[in-house]
Amino acid sequence: MCRDKDNYHSVSVRNYVFSKLGDLTKKVMPGTELSRAKVVEKLVNDSHSSLNTRATNENQQHRQKI
C-alpha cells in the first residue's frame, strides 16, 4: 500500500481498460514486464512529451509567420 500520499494518487479505469493495461505490460518495453502503474506512467509521460513538443513546434511556426 502507498504510504506517501504526497507522491501517489489513484485513478479508476473501466474493466476493459484495465484488461488492456495487462496486455501492455509486456509490450510497452519489449523484453521487460512492467506493472500496470508503470505502463500508465510511461504512456502518460510519452504522450505529454509528444504534445509539448508539438505545441512548441506550432508556436515556433506561428512566430515565423509573423
pLDDT score recorded for residue 4: 73
- Give residue-wise pLDDT tens across range 50-66: 888 876 766 666 666 66
Domain limits for position 60? 15-65
Side-chain half-sphere exposure of 57, counting CA atoms within 13 A: 6
- Residue 44 belongs to a domain: yes
- Residue 1 belongs to a domain: no
- Residue 5 belongs to a domain: no
Cell of 54: 508539438
- Residue 60 belongs to a domain: yes
pLDDT score recorded for residue 52: 83
DSSP-assigned states of every residue in 5-58: TTT-------HHHHHHHHHHTTTSSTT-PPPHHHHHHHHHHHHHHHHHHHHHHH
CA distance 61 to 49: 18
Cell of 43: 504512456
- Low-confidence residues of the chain: pLDDT under 50: none
- Residue 37 belongs to a domain: yes
Number of domains in the chain: 1
